């Protein structure tokens, strides 16, 4: 092992030995020596050490000291059993030439055991601490040592994979997750490997890993259900609907009360064109959870396929009531509202959405059309102008603005005509009073 790779361990061992020698004669012993991330900012250190470094307001020592020259450690000290009595009596029996025995570090607090072998639990704890602190290079040095000991090779590769994943090095993480599974199959390694395959677009590979993980021993039923569900999603992304459906059914065999799994199964069946089976799955999902947004949306799509547009409109509204952040459902609801001439519900939901979310020009145009049809012309004009601001070439929004302008001009002209008819000429109003007879051209009453 290169000297640079063990520098942090060497410093820790030196401090450990020196502190034990200094503390023992006074009735204390070293309970722990924990490294602090050297390059983390104050908040990272505080979180890593559970808020006990809140007073660390800058670098100790010279203000000119470079960050990479500084190492931090937390020293944990405790009373030695009977140590205070020993310390009190030491002055009575000690002579100027007497030297107290120098205790060797306790094996559990040293990087190496008395026989020179690596102290595996101690190294694992420190590597995990460094990983949580974001000190991936230092943690990697220790995990690499552990991967070569043969005693915890699978866990060491899992630690290396996690560090690479946190650094965004997906391919390196995938390789170490693979090694971890080969040496020591575990749920964490399987999930990590499947996730890296997914990020790399290898959805079938991810599904196979998850499928094999369902056979791991000593995992809970809940974990096995989640694996089947994730496997179903992976097969669906890989374009394998039959395998996706089989995995979803396996999940429901473990727990048939999972509303989201039923809605996933409905989506798989809808995608395969099995409308009736899909509708049954969506209805079951809604029965288990009335706020399952995806189930309401899926059932609405099934109802549209069978021509039940009014019911589809209602389920889209319920879907958006549960989760308004669904532009696809919003657009579908707006289209149905225009077709069915039921504007208020869709207009209210779209207005709520555009006030709090990023929007598209098409969605703004749909809202503007609904507002115009409801007679809210000024709001419609403003909304259509927003659509044009997002997409200057939006021809439908331009036509709507021209239509609203013409309607406004027509309303103004009609209002002037009404005023002209009511304006008296020569002091006589030419608008007959209510109930008064109208006079015909021959002077006879009509």
Query: What CATH number has the domain bearing residue 389?
Result: 1.25.40
Q: What is the pLDDT of residues 265-311, one digit of tens each?
A: 999 999 999 999 999 999 999 999 999 999 999 999 999 999 999 99
- Per mean pLDDT, which of 146-155, 294-303, 395-404, 424-433 is the most reliable? 294-303
- Alpha carbon distance 216, 186 (integer Å): 7
User: Mean pLDDT throughout 420-435?
Assistant: 54
Inform me whether the pLDDT recorded for 84 exceeds 70: no
> pTM for the whole thing?
0.63
Q: Do the domain assignments include residue 167?
A: no
Q: Which residue has the higher pLDDT, 423 or 123?
A: 123
Rg (CA), the chain: 38
Inform me whether the pLDDT recorded for 19 exceeds 90: no
Q: Which domain holds residue 44?
A: 1-56+70-86
Q: Do the domain assignments include residue 43?
A: yes
Task: Kindly state the tokens that stand for 425.
Answer: 């000429």
Q: pLDDT exceeding 70 applies to what percent of the chain?
A: 67
- Torsion, Cα 155 157 163 168, to 10 degrees, reads -140
Lowest mean pLDDT among 25-34, 116-125, 154-163, 321-330: 25-34
Q: Do the domain assignments include residue 429?
A: no
User: Mean pLDDT throughout 22-51?
Assistant: 53
Lowest mean pLDDT among 41-45, 301-305, 428-432: 41-45
DSSP-assigned letter for residue 258: -
**Nearest Cα to Cα of residue 50 among 70, 36, 71, 32:** 36
The DSSP code sequence of 131-177 is: HHTT-HHHHHHHHHHHHTTSSSHHHHHHHHHHHHHHTT-HHHHHHHH
First-to-last C-alpha distance (Å) of the chain: 117
Check residue 202 and give its pLDDT: 95
Q: If residue 29 lies in a helix (H) or strand (E), which one and from where to where?
A: strand 28-36
**Nearest Cα to Cα of residue 242 among 272, 264, 222, 217:** 272
DSSP-assigned letter for residue 28: E
Categorize the per-residue pLDDT at 343 as very low, low, confident or very high, splitting at 50, 70 and 90.
very high
Q: Which residue has the higher pLDDT, 142 or 90?
A: 142
Check residue 225 and give its pLDDT: 95
Categorize the per-residue pLDDT at 13 as very low, low, confident or very high, splitting at 50, 70 and 90.
low
- Alpha carbon distance 84, 412 (integer Å): 99
Q: Do the domain assignments include residue 29?
A: yes
Q: Do the domain assignments include residue 237?
A: no
Check residue 251 and give its pLDDT: 96
- Alpha carbon distance 345, 352 (integer Å): 11
69: Cα separation from own chain's centroid: 37
Check residue 111 and give its pLDDT: 78
Check residue 222 and give its pLDDT: 93
Categorize the per-residue pLDDT at 321 as very low, low, confident or very high, splitting at 50, 70 and 90.
very high
Q: Are 295 and 259 in contact (CB under 8 A)?
A: yes
Q: Are 387 and 368 in contact (CB under 8 A)?
A: yes
**Counted domains in the chain:** 2
Q: What is the pLDDT of residues 192-240, one digit of tens each?
A: 999 999 999 999 999 999 999 999 988 999 999 999 999 999 999 999 9
Categorize the per-residue pLDDT at 356 as very low, low, confident or very high, splitting at 50, 70 and 90.
confident
Q: What is the pLDDT of residues 370-422, one digit of tens each?
A: 999 998 988 989 999 999 998 998 999 899 898 888 877 766 666 666 666 66
Check residue 60 and give its pLDDT: 37
Q: Which residue has the higher pLDDT, 264 or 21?
A: 264
- Per mean pLDDT, which of 88-97, 106-115, 262-271 is the most reliable? 262-271
> Positive or negative, the Cα torsion across 361, 365, 371, 375?
positive
Q: Do the domain assignments include residue 160?
A: no
**Residue 147 dihedral angles phi and psi, to the nearest 5°:** -65, -20
Q: Do the domain assignments include residue 109?
A: no
- Torsion, Cα 263 269 271 272, to 10 degrees, reads 170
Task: Tell me what percent of the chain is helix, strand and coil, each rounded to the nearest 5.
Answer: 65, 5, 30
Strands 72-79 and 28-36: antiparallel
Q: Do the domain assignments include residue 250?
A: no
3-state secondary structure at position 36: strand
- Alpha carbon distance 232, 249 (integer Å): 9
Q: Are 197 and 170 in contact (CB under 8 A)?
A: no
Check residue 275 and give its pLDDT: 96
Inform me whether the pLDDT recorded for 261 exceeds 90: yes
Inform me whether the pLDDT recorded for 40 exceeds 60: no
Check residue 132 and give its pLDDT: 87
Q: Are 384 and 407 in contact (CB under 8 A)?
A: no
Q: pLDDT exceeding 90 applies to what percent of the chain?
A: 48
**How wide is the angle at C-alpha 386 spanned by C-alphas 369 and 322, nearest 5°?**
65
Inform me whether the pLDDT recorded for 58 exceeds 50: no
Q: What is the mean pLDDT of the chain?
A: 78
**Nearest Cα to Cα of residue 161 among 174, 148, 144, 143:** 174
**Residue 79 dihedral angles phi and psi, to the nearest 5°:** -70, 135
Helical axes 343-354 vs 309-322, angle rounded to 10°:
30
Q: Which residue has the higher pLDDT, 309 or 7?
A: 309
User: Mean pLDDT throughout 328-352?
Assistant: 93
């Amino acid at each position: 092992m290169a000297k640079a790779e063990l520098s942090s361990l060497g410093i820790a061992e030196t401090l450990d030995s020196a502190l034990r020698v200094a503390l023992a004669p006074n009735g204390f012993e070293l309970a722990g020596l924990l490294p602090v991330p050297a390059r983390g900012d104050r908040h990272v250190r505080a979180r890593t050490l559970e808020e006990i470094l809140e007073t660390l307001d800058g670098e100790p020592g010279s203000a000119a000291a470079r960050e990479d020259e500084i190492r931090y450690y937390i020293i944990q000290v405790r009373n030695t059993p009977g140590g205070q009595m020993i310390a009190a009596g030491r002055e009575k029996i000690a002579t100027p030439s007497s030297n107290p025995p120098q205790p060797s570090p306790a094996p559990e607090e040293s990087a190496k055991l008395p026989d020179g072998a690596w102290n595996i639990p101690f190294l694992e704890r420190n590597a995990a601490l460094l990983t949580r602190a974001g000190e991936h290079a230092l943690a990697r040095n220790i995990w690499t040592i552990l991967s070569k000991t043969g005693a915890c090779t699978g866990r060491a590769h899992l630690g290396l994979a996690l560090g690479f994943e946190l650094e965004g090095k997906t391919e390196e993480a995938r390789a170490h997750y693979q090694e971890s599974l080969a040496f020591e199959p575990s749920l964490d390694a399987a999930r990590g490997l499947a996730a890296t395959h997914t990020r790399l677009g290898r959805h079938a590979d991810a599904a196979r890993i998850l499928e094999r993980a369902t056979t791991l021993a000593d995992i809970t039923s809940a974990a096995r259900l989640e694996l089947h569900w994730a496997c179903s999603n992976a097969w669906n992304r890989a374009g394998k609907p039959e395998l996706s459906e089989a995995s979803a059914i396996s999940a429901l065999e473990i727990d048939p009360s999972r509303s989201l799994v039923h809605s996933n199964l409905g989506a798989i069946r809808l995608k395969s064109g099995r409308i009736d089976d899909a509708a049954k799955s969506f209805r079951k999902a809604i029965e288990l959870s009335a706020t399952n947004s995806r189930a309401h949306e899926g059932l609405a799509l099934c109802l549209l396929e069978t021509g039940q547009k009014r019911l589809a409109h209602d389920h889209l509204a319920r879907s958006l009531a549960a989760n308004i952040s669904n532009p696809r459902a919003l657009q579908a609801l707006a289209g149905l509202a225009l077709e069915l001439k039921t504007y208020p519900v869709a207009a209210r939901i779209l207005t709520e959405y555009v006030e709090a979310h990023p929007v598209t020009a098409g969605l703004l145009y749909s809202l503007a059309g609904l507002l115009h049809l409801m007679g809210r012309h000024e709001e419609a004009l403003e909304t259509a102008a927003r659509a044009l601001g997002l997409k200057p070439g939006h021809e439908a929004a331009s036509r709507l603005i021209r239509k609203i302008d013409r309607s406004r001009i027509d309303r103004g002209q009609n209002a002037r005509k009404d005023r002209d008819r009511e304006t008296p000429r020569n002091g006589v109003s030419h608008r007959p009073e209510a109930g008064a007879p109208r006079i015909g051209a021959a002077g006879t009453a009509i």
